Amino acid sequence: MNNLKIAWRNLWRNKRRTMITSASIFFGVFFATVMSSLQEGSYGSMVDNVVKFYSGYIQVFNKDYWDKKTINNTYEVTDSLIKKIKDVEEITHFSPRLESFALASSADITKGALVIGIDPEKEDRVTAVSKWLKKGSYLKPGDKGILIASDLAKYLKLDVNDTLIMLGQGFHGISAAGIFPVRGILEFSSPELNKVIYMELGSCQEFYSAYNRITSLVIMLKDHYDMPNALKKMNETISDSYNIMSWKEIQPELVQLIQSDRAGGVVMKIILYMIIGFSIFGTIIMMIQERRREMGVMVAIGMQRLKLGNILLFETILIGFLGVFTGIIGSLPIISYYFNNPIRLTGEAANAMIDMGVEPLMKFSWMPSVFYNQALIIFILTVFVGFFPIYKTLKLKLNQALRA
């Protein structure tokens, strides 16, 4: 404790040197934290677009569906399957879907579209479809109408209460044709979803002659941290009869994008940490050179070399703690502001994100790891550099130090 007090007093004997060293650590922590927050926020935004808007955390398919995505590879939901899913405590909600494609026509305009049959109430608990309703009304159980996404509605020149003709291929090659009134227009923040058609599940099954059949069960969890446990339990109970896939397997291109971007971020952080490390190291070398005579006198009057080295180590640690603490405090207002006010991209950057099906926003993360990871790494780096004064103290040549 005495060594710590002496170290703290020594810091403020040369305030300028202390402030310069602390400032280098401050800016390192500040930029590393803000950059990490932006990275993790962007990844979270991408995952939210996939998980909360459409795919859910986990989906349950027929064994053959993923290799050949046809309506013939659907399955019927059994009471046994529902019970096993409900027994997994990490699962909060689940919703059945029947997905296929159809040719959508209005007047003389035609376009292919993804058709998703949903249970309106269950789907709303899973992906909150109703909150994206721009005009009209949401689907009701047994509804014979449709919800159409804004981009597709604009292309087909459709509005609420207009009718849409759909043609497709149903279960086992049966022709699917029907005329459906437009109940509402949906406008998603994810551009990829603004090209789909939603139908009530029973009406969709009737349209495709796939009675009581679904393509998937979409499952939501309490949190993404619960996904490993939920997957393990589901694989133990139902994987023999069904194909269970996480969002990472359903969207591997998104996982690859995140991993490659994270790797680039790691390289940038390593460069930043090296700059910080050499900055601290240079300051420590300067400090030792300036205080060689002082160190020599203290050793000459009887202070143990190891104790002197420990005091210098404590000085370095205190400088590191000061820089890390102020760096985190300084980053909080910036991250807090942009966490609540994401940056909307424009131009080519926005178009690139839209092409990937991601909302063109730069979001920041408020995860605790964003702060303590950077602080911990830079603090460890500072402590590591702090052992150099101990080495120099143990190797100090007394006669040269006293003449310095």
pLDDT at res. 1: 62
pLDDT at 104: 95
> Residue 353: its pLDDT value, please?
66
Please give the radius of gyration of the chain, using alpha carbons only, rounded to the nearest integer: 31
Structure tokens given for 29: 């922590």
> Model pTM?
0.69
**What does the alpha-carbon distance between residue 224 and residue 177 come to, in Å, rounded to a whole number?**
40
Output the pLDDT for position 159. 94
Strands (E), 187-293: 196-200, 213-214, 216-221, 242-246
Q: Per residue of the chain (404 residues), give pLDDT as tens.
A: 677 788 788 778 778 878 887 887 888 788 888 888 888 887 777 777 777 778 889 999 999 898 888 999 999 999 999 999 999 999 999 999 999 999 999 988 999 999 999 999 999 999 889 988 999 999 999 999 999 999 999 999 999 999 999 999 999 889 999 999 999 999 887 777 788 999 999 999 999 999 999 999 999 988 777 888 999 999 988 878 899 999 888 888 778 877 887 777 788 778 878 877 887 788 778 777 777 787 788 878 887 888 888 888 888 888 888 888 898 899 999 999 988 888 887 777 677 666 655 667 778 888 888 888 877 887 788 888 878 888 888 877 777 767 76
Predicted confidence at residue 48, as pLDDT, reads 72
| Pairing status of strand 175-186 against strand 163-169 | antiparallel
pLDDT at residue 357 in the model: 55
Burial (Cβ within 10 Å: 0-12, 13-18, ≥19) of residue 122 = middle
Q: Are 91 and 219 in contact (CB under 8 A)?
A: yes
Residue 204 CA to chain centroid, in angstroms? 34
Residue 291: per-residue pLDDT = 77
119's tokens: 């249970």
To 5 degrees, how large is the angle CA 105–CA 107–CA 109? 55
SS3 assignment for 24-85: HHHHHHHHHHHHHHHHHHHHHHHHHHHHHHHHCCEEEEECCCCCCCCHHHCEECCHHHHHHH
